[in-house]
Every structure is written in structure tokens, then in C-alpha cells.
Amino acid sequence: MLDNNQIIVKIQNVLNKIRPYLQNDGGDVEFKKFENGICYVKMLGACQGCGSIDTTLSDLIEAFLLEEVEGVIGVELVSDEE
């Protein structure tokens, strides 16, 4: 089993792979924290307020993280206030 720091490095590597696809549409993703198996991210740019944000979060970001990072069990979106 990986420790938290190893998981965070892997999460950031996966997000770096996904980032160019988001940036092509004017958006981006920012890693916020990893806690109790949940990866918390903030969507930036054109992704904020986009009607497809839930699909992007579940079908792209969460799908990749669940597939590639042992220990991740879900992804949650954080707002500016968090």
C-alpha cells in the first residue's frame, strides 16, 4: 500500500496528463488535497460554470484517477470558499 505522499505524487502525475485536454478548451484542474481516499480538486478557467463539469469530473478525472492511482476511491469538487 502506498503512503499518502506517494499517492499525492501519483495523483499530480495523472492530473498533469489530463491537463492539456482541459486547457485545449480553456479550462484547467488544480489538486487541493487527498483525504480518506478522496481526491479534492478545483476546476479552473472555462471549466468553472461549464454545463459539462460533472461529466468531466466523473468520466475523465475520476475515471483516470481510479484506474491509475491505488488508494483513490473518489473525486470531489471544491469551491472557492473551501
Instruction: Report the pLDDT value the prediction gives residue 81, as an integer from 0 to 100.
Output: 59
The pTM of the full predicted model, rounded to 2 decimals, is 0.91
| Residue with grid cell 480553456, as numbered in its chain | 26
Q: Which residues of the chain are under the pLDDT cut of 70?
A: 80-82
Q: How far apart are CA 26 and CA 37, in angstroms?
A: 29
Instruction: Report the pLDDT value the prediction gives residue 1, as an integer from 0 to 100.
Output: 73
Instruction: Report the pLDDT value the prediction gives residue 15, as an integer from 0 to 100.
Output: 98
Longest dimension (CA), the chain: 37
Instruction: Report the pLDDT value the prediction gives residue 78, as an integer from 0 to 100.
Output: 93
Q: How many domains does the chain have?
A: 1
Instruction: Report the pLDDT value the prediction gives residue 8, as an integer from 0 to 100.
Output: 96
Is 82 part of any domain?
A: no
Q: Residue 69's domain is classified under what CATH number?
A: 3.30.300.130
Q: How far apart are CA 60 and CA 17, in angstroms?
A: 11
Q: What angle do CA 37, 5, 14 make, to 5 degrees?
A: 70
Indicate the SS3 state at residue 2: coil
Is 58 part of any domain?
A: yes
Q: Range of 45's domain?
A: 4-77
